[in-house]
A and B are shown apart, each in its own frame.
Chain A
Amino acid sequence: MLKMFERLFSDKIATEPVTFTGSERYRGRIEGKCPAEALSDCAKACPVQAFQAKGDGEYTIDYRRCIFCGRCVEAAMKTAAEEAGLHHSSEDVMPVLMENARQITSEIIKEKLGRSLHVRHLDAGSCNACDFEMGAMSNPVYDLHRFGVHFDASPRHADLLMVTGVVTRNLEEALRKSYEAMPEPKLVLACGACAAGGNTYGESYAVVGAADKVVPVDLYVPGCPPRPSAMIAALLAAADMLSERL
């Protein structure tokens, strides 16, 4: 027992401010010019059809689908070598709110503290990476509780349903029933490329698709998986959306 107290008191506070910048190699937001001749190769290399070449030599990325695998960047390098400016920055892609289809910024998040939100997690067919990162939000480093966000054991107690994974046939009913069991007003957050974009693996006899094929979704968090900080950003934005609905 003494040993434990000794350790507890010798530790400094582990909790850190939320940041959206990763390490040097972190594959975050895709940036930079992509030479026109490489665009179609980049689109072809994308395993989830998130990279779209536009007619005017520009490109768009559907971050709900993107799995941040780096294959478009590789393809651009291969076709255009030094000309290619396409790269992954080490910045997280911010969650997307459906209400006004804007991307939230870290500045907005900082203003949103002081709300409370009760969350029910639902694994609809995830690979467990998103689930582990959700668990990490409760560790002392992220300490989600400091923002007034709590995980509930039942959908009946929850304001928000946090869906991870592509919806499988075996879990479709569980997702629908959990949503129906929640009291109004309620929100749904699709967390990660599977729940948000539904195209991580492609079509299959066992997969229904993204979460919004089964329940209405209010927020999307890009990432494969999203880092805990991006999830926190989404939850804080959700707390704000909820207070608007009340």
Chain B
Amino acid sequence: MEPMKIELVKPSELPEAAKRLSAEGTHPLTAMFGRDERRDENVKGLSIYCVFENTGTHEMEALKAVFKEGVPYRFPTLTYVLPAAAWYEREIQDMFGIVPEGHPDPRPLVLHESFPEGFHPLLKDVAKNTEARGERRYDIHVAHGEGLFEVPVGPIHAGIIEPGHFRFSQAGEAMLQLDAKLFYTHRGLEKIMEGKTPFEALPIVERICGACSIANTWSFCQAVEQIAKTKIPRRAEIIRTLLSELERVTNHVGDLGNIPGGVGFNPAISLGGRTKEMLMRLQEAVAGNRFLRGIIVPGGVSMDITPELRAKIREVLAAAKKNIEDLSEMFADQSNFRNRVRTTGIVRKSTAADLAMVGVGARASGFLHDSRRDFSYGVYPELPFEPALEKDGDVAARIKIRIKEFHVSLRMIEKLLTLLDEEQEMTLSVELPSVKGEGFGISESARGSNFHYVALDGEGRIDRIFVRSASYANWPALPIAVQGDIIPDFPLINKSFELCYACIDR
């Protein structure tokens, strides 16, 4: 993967430059984040990065605007040009105090009511463990009108799920508007990792999110290896690719068993649940941890996938395949299930493009975005890759995408196991030199592209890390998808996206 191309612009020029680099919205905004470089002699200021994915050259192109000391920390908002920028700008405002002027929704995003105004934790002069208490406002958006009413839900939900607050504005049963207050599980992980070496930060990266442990770790290691200009052994590349596909299979199976939970379709929940358990046990057999923690390390992998394990993978996946075929038939067989999932929770292609959606969410809406195709990493170029694409954008389409991708992943794993059988070189990892620099990593998690930006200082310690998971890109689509549907369909629609909170909250 080529390093990111960075173009310096003035803060006031950001909207124009962003419009140009996004090529009228055809090159999606991958990420936008701030960085405090006031202590760096060459920069001496706060900076903002806007990263775009050039879909023509398959490279990352970034704009960088620097706010020198004394210059007001303000820039004209990009949200009107690029709706996908809305959340990133709110986050930059919270974390660095840089104000996106004219932002349509300038509320806080990450720091809730218990934090004081003017507290910006990612500034370097704020200590990691600062205990800042105060009372800031966080207004929830509600629709007003005759006969309209509100339904508040969360942050503690009825089921075993992650925390978020939803405020539904209802016109009878129909959801007119949904405002989601998220970032409840914000742990300040990016700040915590500053000052640590990549090796020290690794256990934290693995624990950003349980479900996307491999995706996060792989993106992170790619970034670190890009900075070190080091190529990892081929065997490690094959194993990483295999782990990534295994994680996708497990997540897709988990989701396929969870979605029927949104309509109380118990036989399907059971079959999905027991199939996922087979896969979780397989993951434990491979990595010693049911969430595949502890196997990817900077420079390669820490454990081999032995011939015995390869045989086990083949055996378990064959059984899982049979179960998912039966599950698909159960879905197709049940007319009442089909009725619930069709035309429910629609995201249109134009919405997907405007919000720069990724992964399953994007592909179910006819918007083809898949990092395994768009970037050459791991051994993906050698694998039989067939992107799954649906056009309806509803719950049914998101189910179909997962079923298709489950089978594609199985074929990929088959090929990967053969590659491992044939690979003679046994080296699993290489030592990384400690170098100053910045780099990025990208991998396709089960939910979509997962982007990490890492900057290391002169001692090889993390100066800045920014993590943009797939869920971050797709969350803003959920409130749009639910509009007009009835509130009992919300759990179903929500499960069909299956977005992680831990990943976005960090």
Where the two chains meet, the residues of A that have a C-beta atom closer than 8 Å to any C-beta of B are 1, 3-4, 7-8, 14, 22-27, 47-48, 67-71, 88, 121-123, 125-136, 138-142, 151, 153-155, 165-166, 168-174, 178, 200-207, 224-225, 227
Contact = CB atoms under 8 A, between A and B. Distances in A.
In order of increasing CB-CB distance, the 9 nearest A-B pairs are: A129-B210, A139-B273, A204-B188, A153-B158, A206-B188, A25-B288, A203-B129, A23-B285, A128-B210
Nearest to A142: B277
A74 to B, nearest CB: 9
A88 B288 contact: yes
B436 interface: no
Contacts, number: 191
Contacts of A203: 128-129, 192
Contacts of B274: 14, 139-141
A39 to B, nearest CB: 20
Chain B contact residues: over half helix, strand or loop, or mixed? loop
B288 A206 contact: no
Contacts of B273: 136, 138-141
A31 to B, nearest CB: 15
B160 A121 contact: yes
Interface stretch (B18-26, B98-106, B201-209, B448-456): B201-209
B8 interface: no
A178 B130 CA distance: 26
Contact of B287 (A14, A25, A225): A25
Contacts of A141: 273-274, 277
Contact of A136 (B162, B280, B287, B501): B280
Nearest to B216: A127
Nearest to B163: A123
Interface string B268-288: 001101101100110011111
A125 to B, nearest CB: 5
A35 B364 CA distance: 57
Contacts of A142: 277
Contact of B284 (A3, A4, A26, A151): A26
B296 interface: no
Contacts of B211: 128-129, 132
A174 B155 contact: yes
A23 B330 contact: no
A47 B187 CA distance: 17
Interface string B284-296: 1111111101100
B156 A125 contact: no
A135 B184 contact: no
B277 A139 contact: yes
A186 B161 CA distance: 22
B329 interface: yes
A178 B156 contact: yes
17 contacts: A4-B333, A14-B270, A24-B285, A25-B288, A123-B162, A125-B186, A130-B210, A131-B160, A131-B161, A165-B185, A169-B186, A201-B188, A202-B128, A204-B128, A206-B188, A224-B207, A225-B210
Contacts of B280: 136
B500 A206 contact: no
A47 B203 contact: yes
B334 A125 contact: no
B205 to A, nearest CB: 11
A116 B192 CA distance: 41
> Which among B119, B207, B208 has the greatest number of chain A C-beta atoms within 10 A?
B207
Nearest to B133: A169
> Which among A24, A131, A172 has the greatest number of chain B C-beta atoms within 10 A?
A131
B160 A135 contact: yes
B187 A139 contact: no
Contact of A205 (B156, B188, B207): B188
B460 interface: no
B169 to A, nearest CB: 22
Contacts of B130: 205
Contacts of B267: 4, 7-8
Interface in B140-193: 155-156, 158-163, 183-189, 191-192
Contacts of A153: 158-159
Contact of A168 (B185, B286, B290): B185
B192 A169 contact: no
B184 A168 contact: yes
Interface of B: 111-112, 114-115, 119, 121, 126, 128-132, 155-156, 158-163, 183-189, 191-192, 200, 203-204, 207-211, 213, 254, 267, 270-271, 273-274, 276-277, 280-281, 284-291, 293-294, 303, 326, 329-330, 333-334, 500-502
B261 to A, nearest CB: 9
A211 to B, nearest CB: 14
A136 B185 contact: no
A171 B132 contact: no
Contacts of A47: 200, 203-204
Contacts of A1: 333-334
Given A8-B267, A127-B209, A128-B501, A170 B160 contact: no
A200 B329 CA distance: 43
B114 A173 contact: yes
Contact of B208 (A123, A127, A206): A127
A153 B157 CA distance: 7
Nearest to B121: A205
Contact of B303 (A4, A25, A122): A25
Contacts of B131: 205
B294 A126 contact: no
Contacts of A88: 288
Nearest to B308: A24
Given A121-B160, A170-B111, A174-B184, 17 more contacts: A1-B333, A3-B329, A3-B330, A4-B333, A7-B271, A22-B284, A26-B284, A69-B203, A123-B156, A127-B210, A155-B156, A169-B112, A170-B112, A204-B129, A205-B128, A206-B111, A224-B289
A141 B269 CA distance: 12
Contact of B502 (A68, A69, A70, A127): A127
B158 A202 contact: no
Given A1-B334, A128-B501, A128-B502, A140 B184 contact: no
Contacts of B158: 153-154
A133 B111 CA distance: 28
Given A140-B270, A169-B112, A171-B184, A201 B200 contact: no
B291 A129 contact: yes
A170 B186 contact: yes
Given A27-B294, A128-B502, A132-B210, A166 B334 contact: no
